[in-house]
Amino acid sequence: MRRAVISGWGRCVPPTVLSNADLEGMMDTSDEWITVRSGIKERRISHVEPSEMAAVAGSHALAAAGLGIEDIDLIILASCTSDSVVPATAAHVHRLLEAPVATAAFDLNANCSGFVYSLITASKMIESGMYSRVLVVAAERLSALIDFTDRSTAVLFGDAAGAVVLEPTEEEYGLLSGCMQMDSSALTYLEVTEDGLHRMPERHMEDAYGGIAMNGREVFRRAVVAMGDLSVRAVTAAGLDLDDVDLLIPHQANIRIIDATARRLKLPAHKVYTNIHAYGNTSAATIPVALTEALEQGYISPGSHVVFAAFGGGLTAAAAMMRWGERTEPLERSDAVLAPTERSLMELLDANFQVYGFPEKLK
């Protein structure tokens, strides 16, 4: 049976760090308050657009697979923070990677579930024989949407990109099952309030723009249920038992949601990969970044059963069950890096302050 296996992986995290101590200097919060409620210690702030982070992550994934961009049939860019609406951000990534005209590319926006949605979509395209090699990239610059006058959301989000290459295999590896869902009854629980064409008739130039807005209590409650339910469904659909799961790589949104999902799968802490403390919530990018680090740190072995689980705005949710292939080391390495910046943290955040307002301690 033809399946899709991950053959390459890579990540890109910007160098500028926004720590909890930095946030303490802006608003009425503390390291303890943030850590207890989210598990986050710091997050990254990008000085470049999502497409540039995507190109770096994609270059590392291609090298790990031992492939060039000319070997790729399709690029899927998972993001909710696009460089532009027209053209799609995938076009910018296509250009930066110097992909040939024959390589198709499109955006997929399922918010924080975007990577798992894209992984399942790409895998099914490969299984069908439509494509053979697909580059899936998730890239987010959520920092551009942060309103630092709202401490409930300002402490949560950061920027990053991660990527994987998928190829066909006839072995018993690859994607074994996948589940996706959408609970649109809760679509207003997580949104960017002044975004999209449906807002245009009522928007006036003098109006303040709104950043990310979230009903934290409802999102938390629904996320715990959705991630747990879909993870169990994915394991069962693969014909496996919960005891067969070797590693859970969940969306890194909140350590309490991660812990609840792990309990639903009856997994001990050493079978759950987390890096939320270092990067915060980078939306669609959290899972591929975590996957790359898990491989580097030896959490995954040939044949490991790995569960990916995510939820996001919409409210979307998705889970995938994968049996890892024979290789856990990259075939080659890329020297791709982001262009350097001399801008300070506060210089990078100044646009947020101008658009959304200054946080209380900087007024």
At 179, is the pLDDT very low, low, confident or very high (cuts 50, 70, 90)?
A: very high
Domain assignment of residue 363, yes or no: no
Active-site residue (options: 109, 112, 275, 305): 112
- Would you say 45 and 159 are in contact if contact means Cβ atoms under 8 Å apart? yes
Would residue 359 count as lying in a domain? no
User: pLDDT grade, residue 339 (50/70/90)?
Assistant: very high
| Range 293-301 average pLDDT | 98
Q: Find the catalytic residue in 20, 111, 275, 281.
A: 281
Please report the pLDDT score of residue 205 as a whole number: 47
Position 210 scores a pLDDT of 73
Question: Strand locations in the chain, DSSP E?
Answer: 3-12, 16-19, 42-45, 74-78, 104-108, 134-141, 159-169, 174-182, 190-192, 212-214, 247-250, 305-312, 316-323
Residue 268 has pLDDT above 60, yes or no: yes
When divided into structural domains, the chain yields a total of 1
| CB contact at 8 A, 176 and 5 | no
Q: Which pair of structure tokens corresponds to residue 34?
A: 């943030």
Q: Is residue 111 part of a domain?
A: yes
| Both tokens assigned to 282 | 């980078």
* CATH code of the domain in which 220 resides: 3.40.47.10
**Helix axis angle, 255-264 relative to 216-237, nearest 10°?**
30
Give the tens place of pLDDT for each residue, 106-128: 999 999 999 999 999 999 999 99
Q: Is the pLDDT of residue 207 over 80?
A: no
Rounded Cα distance, 153 and 18, in Å: 14
pLDDT of residue 193: 76
321 occurs within a structural domain: yes
Domain limits at 206?
Answer: 3-350
Indicate whether 126 belongs to any domain.
yes
Any idea which of 36-45, 124-133, 211-220 has the lowest mean pLDDT? 211-220
Helices within 243-344 (DSSP H only):
255-264, 276-279, 286-296
CA–CA separation, 143 vs 181, rounded Å? 27
Residue 357 covered by a domain:
no
**Cβ count near 188 (within 10 Å):** 14
Task: Say whether 275 is catalytic.
Answer: no
Helix boundaries (H) for the chain = 20-24, 31-38, 50-65, 89-96, 114-128, 151-154, 216-237, 255-264, 276-279, 286-296, 345-356
Residue 356 lies in a domain: no
Cα separation of 295 and 297, whole Å?
Answer: 5
User: Which two three-digit tokens encode residue 316?
Assistant: 């979307």
- Which has the higher per-residue pLDDT, 208 or 176? 176
Beta strands (DSSP E) in 109-173 are 134-141, 159-169
* pLDDT value at 282 more than 90: yes
What are 137's strand-pairing partners? 77, 163
Phi, psi of 319 (to 5 degrees): -145, 150
Block residue for tokens 């608003």: 27
Average pLDDT on 194-211 reads 60
**How many of the other CB atoms lie within 10 Å of CB of 241?**
10
Q: Is the pLDDT of residue 29 over 90?
A: yes
Asked if pLDDT for residue 296 goes beyond 50, the answer is: yes
Instruction: Using alpha carbons, select from 43, 22, 20 the residue that is nearest to residue 32.
Output: 20
Q: Pick the catalytic residue from 251, 254, 275, 305.
A: 251
User: CA-CA-CA-CA torsion for 198, 203, 208, 213, nearest 10 degrees?
Assistant: -20
* Residue 86 confidence (pLDDT): 93
pLDDT at residue 221 tops 80: yes
What pLDDT does residue 49 have? Answer: 97
Please, what is the average pLDDT of the chain? 95
- Residue 322, φ and ψ in degrees, nearest 5: -130, 135
Residue 299 lies in a domain: yes
